[in-house]
Chain A
Amino acid sequence: MVTSRIDHKWGMVVDLDRCNGCQACVVACQVENNLPINDKNAFLQNRAYEWIRIERYWEGDYPNIKARFIPILCQHCENAPCEPVCPVFATYRNDEGLNVQLYNRCVGTRYCINNCPYQVRFFNYWHPNWPERLQNQLNPDVTVRTRGITEKCTFCIQRLRRGQLQVERRNGGELGDSTLRAGNHMPACVQACPTNALTFGDQNDAQSPIKPYFDDVNRYNIHHESERQTRGYRMLEDMNTKPNVIYLKKVDPNKGSSGGHHG
């Protein structure tokens, strides 16, 4: 139980200019969140679990061809299309800005999967299996999901909870140096990213490095995109889902700052 009343609103900034497509985040996520191992069959059946995935697109024609990488994870939309369609409230918005999934409540209608434009929800078509020698690597803080359940990125909520218990409660609920910050708390993917392309933080924390980006993108909506001061944008912004993940456009030295990609 978290007794702290500190008002968090988590968010993430993904700097596409720094992402080199190394997939460290994907592996870290896989390990942290007890995702089943994506073997050959999982890919052949198009049923791989990738709570965060790196999409690779080619830009330009040979020989001036460039690989572009976009890490895509659950956008934790403020206005999430997956939430209203669940008949049993298995997915809902919690008071820290996260879109969370209750595995015990999920009945497997898969409507949320259909209605997620980012395709970041995964259905357990099979019961997950790990080889005997890997049983001990499972994270004890994270549930192993059974078959018939939809799952997705949680922003490593187990880490958030542990951090809140260890740091915030000690201080009586005041937001001080010892509260969770971008520096002292991060999901597995952020921690693993070698180029710091991913930054996690609290939008309500004035000193959080992600705050300027969110302020900027919130101030100028999609119709005033050209007035934005930063490279920030939201994916599929015209869908009005209001994600809590912001992407920073690739810096293209030849083109100024207009190399953005809207998914």
Chain B
Amino acid sequence: MQEGRVLSTREMNRDLLRSILDTPRWFWPVVTVLGLVLLIAAIAIGIMVNRGLGVTGLNRPVAWGFFITNFVFWIGISHAGVMLSAILRLAKAEWRRPATRAAEVLTLFSLMTAMIMPIVHTGRPWRILYWVFPYDFARGIWPNIRTPLVWDPSAILTYLTSSTLFVIIALIPDFAVLRDHTTGIAHRVYSVLAMGWEGNARQWKLQIVAGVLLSALILPVFVSVHSIVSWDFGMAASVKSWHSTVFAPYFVVGAVHSGVSAVAFALILLRWCYGWQDYIRHEHIDALGRLLIVVATGWFYFLVMEILFGMYGREPDELMVRQTQFTYWPYNAWFIVFVITTYFIPVILWLSRAWRRNLWIMSIACISVNIGMWLERFLIIVPGLINKQLFTFVWADYRPSIFEIIIVAATFALVTMLMLLFSRVFPLVPLYDVKEGDVLKTQVQIGRRTVPATFRED
């Protein structure tokens, strides 16, 4: 498993801190373009808030559309962080090391972006204060804990808090390195952030214990977040195709599928932007690809369950929804695109070792998964509402308006921008983790062959 050059600590510091200490030439143009997209979206949101949700394509039966689809999508992306950091950490997978930080940070930013969506979706964002925060103690009006819409912010905010802690704890040793490499104001800021880290044995022990504990504690939160998001739909017995018992595991696996793909793509981008060929190596992308084959196949199994048992009941109202999903324009086309892009294209590409190690092909596969997963949420949410129940009289189709499209597109720009800004301030490849992996490396002689090996701590 060991490929690449042997690097000294000095080289590692220099390479991995390059993103912070020098400004690449492409940086400001890219930030400007992303900022423009965000500005346009801010104007769109402003108009929407001013004039009302009428500017969207939502209508009487289809009360949830692009915004909620996008919300579920970004929540899904946020599942990569824990999947890679916590699970692989507990499983002691060595190849996780350079990928963890980027995954965790992507978790943070996609969670934040996701949380914007339901707020925008209500049309009058200030009223959300009534909802997420128990606002009226005097009259005893508390949020209704029976609704998944209150479970949602609870789970998401818990996840956001614990992921933030997770990121910060992993960052402390790296802050210390930064503190020692900077001067002036930056030095002082990093000094505060490093919290007096000296790298003594006790501090390392505490840091490791905190990391392992958080990994274990964050797992239930990780599973519950997307389960609860799925129950936004699963609990709605009136929308036939939503009320399916498999939704919770189906959504969680789907989230991991899209999230890990997104992380793989982000890693490829980082490698290319900052020249981290020695750290984010082909073997890491390869391992992610192999993991993704398993995740994708598990996801496909749940997809089959969902569709099959949707039709199993042979209820006319549910069959109508399925008919819309599979046969009515444009949903039939999107459905085909969805199945092909989410499963068949990427898995076929991932099956070949050479292709897993080709960064272009890997990027195509990962983008394809995320196109498909976005469509998946759309195809669950909208057709279910279009033909809700058998009141054919009020069935209506849904077409997103330009406002929805702009705002959804801007969320991608927002996450990219946040990741870029973060990478300029904090190292996106964990220095201490990579170094630790290096220290634990050894080799075993078998006959005439030298096989790479690692020391295990347990």
What residues of chain A have their CB less than 8 Å away from a CB belonging to chain B?
Answer: 45-48, 53, 55-57, 72, 81, 84-89, 105, 107-111, 113-119, 122-127, 147-148, 236, 239, 263
Contacts A81-B236, A85-B148, A115-B236 given; does A126 touch B60 at CB 8 Å: no
In the bound complex, do residue B63 and residue A110 qualify as a contact, i.e. CB atoms below 8 Å apart?
yes
Give the shortest distance, in Å, between A90 (CB) and chain B (any CB). 9
> Interface residue count for B (Cβ, 8 Å)?
44
Give the shortest distance, in Å, between A147 (CB) and chain B (any CB). 4
In the bound complex, do residue B60 and residue A46 qualify as a contact, i.e. CB atoms below 8 Å apart?
yes
What would 7 more interface pairs be, CB under 8 Å, given A53-B393, A89-B141?
A: A81-B237, A84-B144, A85-B236, A89-B144, A115-B235, A117-B388, A117-B389
Proximity bits, B126-150, A CB within 8 Å = 1, else 0 = 0110110000000001011011111
Proximity bits, B104-129, A CB within 8 Å = 1, else 0 = 00000000000000100111100110
> Does B93 interact with chain A (Cβ within 8 Å)?
no
Closest to B145 in A: A87
In the bound complex, do residue A263 and residue B389 qualify as a contact, i.e. CB atoms below 8 Å apart?
yes
Query: Within the assembled complex, what's the spacing in Å between the Cα atoms of A247 and B392?
Result: 19
Contacts A45-B59, A87-B144, A107-B127 given; does A126 touch B122 at CB 8 Å: no
In the bound complex, do residue B238 and residue A147 qualify as a contact, i.e. CB atoms below 8 Å apart?
no
In the bound complex, do residue B148 and residue A88 qualify as a contact, i.e. CB atoms below 8 Å apart?
no
- Please name the 10 residue pairs, one residue from A and one from B, whose CB atoms are nearest each other, closest first: A46-B396, A46-B59, A110-B63, A117-B238, A147-B52, A125-B54, A126-B54, A55-B393, A108-B122, A107-B127
> Does B58 interact with chain A (Cβ within 8 Å)?
yes
In the bound complex, do residue B385 and residue A87 qualify as a contact, i.e. CB atoms below 8 Å apart?
no
In the bound complex, do residue B143 and residue A87 qualify as a contact, i.e. CB atoms below 8 Å apart?
yes
In the bound complex, do residue B60 and residue A119 qualify as a contact, i.e. CB atoms below 8 Å apart?
yes
> Does B390 interact with chain A (Cβ within 8 Å)?
yes
Query: Within the assembled complex, what's the spacing in Å between the Cα atoms of A123 and B121?
Result: 13
Closest to B385 in A: A114
Give the shortest distance, in Å, between B197 (CB) and chain A (any CB). 42
> Does B64 interact with chain A (Cβ within 8 Å)?
yes
Query: Within the assembled complex, what's the spacing in Å between the Cα atoms of A84 and B144?
Result: 7
17 contacts between A and B (CB under 8 A): A46-B59, A53-B394, A81-B238, A85-B235, A85-B236, A86-B149, A87-B144, A87-B149, A107-B124, A108-B53, A108-B127, A109-B121, A109-B149, A111-B232, A119-B61, A119-B388, A123-B63
In the bound complex, do residue A107 and residue B128 qualify as a contact, i.e. CB atoms below 8 Å apart?
yes
8 Å CB contact of A48 from B60, B64, B131, B236: B60
Q: Restricting to B352-389, which residues have a CB under 8 Å from any CB of A?
A: 385, 388-389
